[in-house]
Structure 1
Amino acid sequence: MPGIDECLLEAMLLPGALGAGVADWTSGLALGAIGQSPGGDHEATAAETAELARTAAEHPGFGVPAGTGAEDRPVAEPPVEDLIITTRTAYHVLCFVDTAFDSSVFLHLWLDREEGNLALARLRLRDLAERLVL
């Protein structure tokens, strides 16, 4: 079971990976980062991506429909699994991490659009999120 540093190192092994981070979506705090940062500052990137993650996690339109077990879901668990933001040159994949405690953590992968494989990155990031130990 990898910790934050090991998780980020594994994320950077993905083809086209430019940078990766783990952040808290309620506070915008960077818990770890590696590689490049889109704006050149990992702390600022964590705060900015946390805004996107928080908006998606708290938006009622992204909730799970009634009758699908949503009633049993803990309040802290966001109904969104991940977010994919596409730019002309890159992909940003934000993957929410489910934990045994009241978690608001997500993984952020910055992926070169020409060299990366979005489907592979999404699957591997989901696997890393499931194995991540905080």
Structure 2
Amino acid sequence: MPGIDECLLQAMRLPGAIGAAVVDWTSGLALGTIGDSPNNDHEATAAETAELARMAAEHPAFAPEEPAPGDEAAARDLPVEDVIVTTRTGYHILRFVETTFDSSVFLHLWLDRDEGNLALARLRLGDLAERLVLA
């Protein structure tokens, strides 16, 4: 099971990967980064993507139906698996990491639009998010 550094290295092996980060969407802090960032500032990018992730995770429009009483697992599940933003030159994928505790972490992958494969990247990020060990 990979830690943050190994997870980021594996993300960068995806075709078209430009940069990646593990971000806490509550604080906006980057827990780890690799490669480039869109504005050449990993910390600013982490804070900006955290705003988008927080909005998606907490917005009532994306919330599932109310969990049944006593269903603690459903009550803590995030309503969103990932967020994809498409720009003229690239893709940004924010993949939420589900944990046994109250997780507020996501993986951010920045892909080149011409070289990247959005479907493959989404599947691989899902796999990485499932196996990521946060210590």
Please report how far the alpha carbon of residue 18 of structure 1 lies from its aligned counterpart in structure 2 after TM superposition: 0.1
How many angstroms apart in 2 are the aligned matches of 1:117 and 1:65? 33
Q: Deviations over 1:18-64 (max 9, x none)?
A: 00000001110100000000010111000000000000000001011
Please report how far the alpha carbon of residue 78 of structure 1 lies from its aligned counterpart in structure 2 after TM superposition: 1.8
Letter in 2 for 1:121: A
**Unaligned stretches of 5+ residues in structure 1:** none
The equivalent residue for 2:130 is: 130
How many angstroms apart in 1 are the aligned matches of 2:132 and 2:49? 19
Q: Secondary structure at the match of 1:108?
A: strand
The Cα RMSD (Å) is: 1.0
How many angstroms apart in 2 are the aligned matches of 1:111 and 1:65? 33
How many angstroms apart in 1 are the aligned matches of 2:16 and 2:94? 16
Letter in 2 for 1:74: A
The equivalent residue for 1:56 is: 56
How many angstroms apart in 1 are the aligned matches of 2:44 and 2:32? 13
The equivalent residue for 1:22 is: 22
Q: Secondary structure at the match of 1:78?
A: coil
Q: Secondary structure at the match of 1:74?
A: helix
How many angstroms apart in 1 are the aligned matches of 2:81 and 2:65? 15
How many angstroms apart in 1 are the aligned matches of 2:83 and 2:11? 16
How many angstroms apart in 2 are the aligned matches of 1:133 and 1:74? 22
Instruction: Determine whether 1:87 maps to 2:87.
Output: yes
> Identical aligned pairs, as a percentage?
76
Instruction: Determine whether 1:74 maps to 2:53.
Output: no
The equivalent residue for 2:41 is: 41
The equivalent residue for 1:9 is: 9
How many angstroms apart in 2 are the aligned matches of 1:5 and 1:126? 16
How many angstroms apart in 1 are the aligned matches of 2:15 and 2:8? 14
Letter in 1 for 2:65: P
How many angstroms apart in 1 are the aligned matches of 2:32 and 2:89? 24
TM superposition score normalised by structure 2: 0.93
Letter in 2 for 1:128: L
Aligned pairs, number: 130
